[in-house]
Amino acid sequence: MEFRCRKVGDECYGFKELTLLFDISQRLLESKELNNDLTPIMASLVKHLNAERSFVTIFNRENQQILIKASYGLSESQKARGKYNLGEGIIGKVVELAKPVVIPEISKSKLFINKTKAELTKNGQELTYICVPLLLDNIVSGALSVIKVFNPKIEGSEDIQLLSIIGSMIAKTARYKQAKMEELERLREENRNLQDQIKETNRHNIIGNSGKMKDLFALVNRVAQTNSTVLLRGESGIGKELFAEAIHNNSNRKNKNLIKVNCSALPESLIESELFGHEKGAFTGADQQRKGRFELAHGGTIFLDEIGDLPLPTQVKLLRVIQEREFERIGGTETIKTDVRIVAATNRNLEEQIEKGEYREDLYYRINVFPIFIPPLRERRDDIPILVDHFIDKFNKKNGRSIKRITTSAINMLMVHRWPGNIRELENVIERACIMCKDDVIHSYDLPPTLQTADSTNTQIEGGMVPIIEQVEKQLIRDALTTTKGNITKAAEVLQITERMLGTRIKKYEIDAWRFKV
């Protein structure tokens, strides 16, 4: 559009139009709520054109109605009456045909239906009605209307040009705002879905939103709907018991018992009695009949933790229960049928145990129907921040504290640690940090010495490769002692060195092994 400079007194009319367009563009750019921010734009337009009133109507494609969204010079009741159907009146025709319309004298026009019930003349003077479509990329989103005193000396084409530019600016902003609102609503919906997923997973106290954890949740949800035997595999401290609870609580057995058995914690002489029960007088001390864990779990789920530690004689009897779903109590002759879902867990390498003859291969295949490998914490470090927040909240409630957050430097230290003790170790670290914390913020110096780094303690290693290797060796020893809870013999086995060599290095590096005992 090319504005012609028409002299009005000493002012250039084209310059005033450019100023108006710049002002409107700035208002549109800064607009946060378009419907409300259009009103001052209408006021500026009325003032510039020396008009009586102006308003914007928006076309709703869902119900095919055209409504006044912003106005200047109309009362609220007049604005409320401004409802048009597509093709109805001047506004309906403009939106339908996507072409501007000028009615020089509205009181003499049959097209002007005056739904707002506004005056048709001004102090005896005729009023001119100009309506242009809000047009962008050949798509009409509404109309811009202006009503001014009729002046036969002024060409309507110039006003149409100006209003068309303003209309396209409004249409572009409206589309952009609509796209932003749709994007915001999409993000809100996505956030709601993610919150629902987190709530669903947190219902079983399983914390994590990394890709690996989401894959695990999908496996749990899938296998939970079946009666198949599940074998949970992974290192100690990763939360296998929580996964067993999740499988049970998502199954059709959730209203029945979930019985938990730690196979490594039971003495070999009592484990059969615990699993299958015993009759009165079956052995010394059996002064009454006792039901075993399998009998108590009838109709529900039994969780056999550390199943790799079962002695061979018990493995034989367990195999029969899995195969035949029946057993006898110790000292009894009655065969007891059981309907139970088995979820087992182990941190041992069962395949190596089979090769050594320490585990029955047929039992292995019976329990390994649906294996789920739970990754260690060091392989899903993205879960560390959310786990930290969970544990801080947990210990705030437990100890009556109000710790607000953890510093970035402390999080960085947690992110680089190897976590040989996995989530159990992280929980202990955060509990200690909550106790050491003095100002409701966990700092790097609140973390245990085993997590301290060169940056956190300002003790960067200098002098080349030898001190760096010594530092790595020292950290490996600490990790092994953490894993074995201060047991030097087992730590030497983990490091694959002799106990004497480990003792020498512990003395060299002045490591207090007793500090790692739990």
The percentage of residues in the chain with a pLDDT greater than 70, rounded to a whole number, is 89
Tell how strand 335-337 and strand 7-8 pair up. Answer: unpaired
Q: What digits encode the pLDDT tens for the residues 490-516?
A: 889 989 999 889 888 888 888 888 777
Block residue for tokens 């196979």: 263
Give the model's pLDDT for residue 200.
52
Which residue did the predictor score with more confidence, 103 or 152?
103
Q: What digits encode the pLDDT tens for the residues 163-178?
A: 888 888 888 877 776 6
Comparing 56-65, 351-360, 385-394, the range with the smallest average pLDDT is 56-65
Give the model's pLDDT for residue 461.
52
Residue 201 has pLDDT above 70, yes or no: no
Residue 3 has pLDDT above 60, yes or no: no
CB atoms within 10 A of CB 17: 21
Distance CA 330, CA 215 (A): 42
Which residue did the predictor score with more confidence, 2 or 244?
244
- pTM, two decimal places: 0.52
Mean pLDDT of 461-476: 76
Contact status, residue 55 vs residue 75, Cβ threshold 8 Å: no
Give the model's pLDDT for residue 202.
46
The percentage of residues in the chain with a pLDDT greater than 90, rounded to a whole number, is 31
Distance CA 379, CA 423 (A): 12
Give the model's pLDDT for residue 305.
94
Give, in degrees to the nearest 5, the angle at Cα 381 between 376 and 385. Answer: 120
Model confidence band, residue 265 (pLDDT cutoffs 50, 70, 90): confident
Model confidence band, residue 231 (pLDDT cutoffs 50, 70, 90): very high
Distance CA 166, CA 143 (A): 11
Distance CA 274, CA 297 (A): 12
Distance CA 128, CA 106 (A): 6
Q: What digits encode the pLDDT tens for the residues 360-413?
A: 999 999 999 999 999 999 999 999 999 999 999 999 999 998 999 999 888 988
Model confidence band, residue 464 (pLDDT cutoffs 50, 70, 90): low
Q: What digits encode the pLDDT tens for the residues 125-143?
A: 899 999 999 888 888 888 9
Residue 161 has pLDDT above 80, yes or no: yes
**How much is the mean pLDDT over the chain?**
84
Which residue did the predictor score with more confidence, 398 or 450?
398
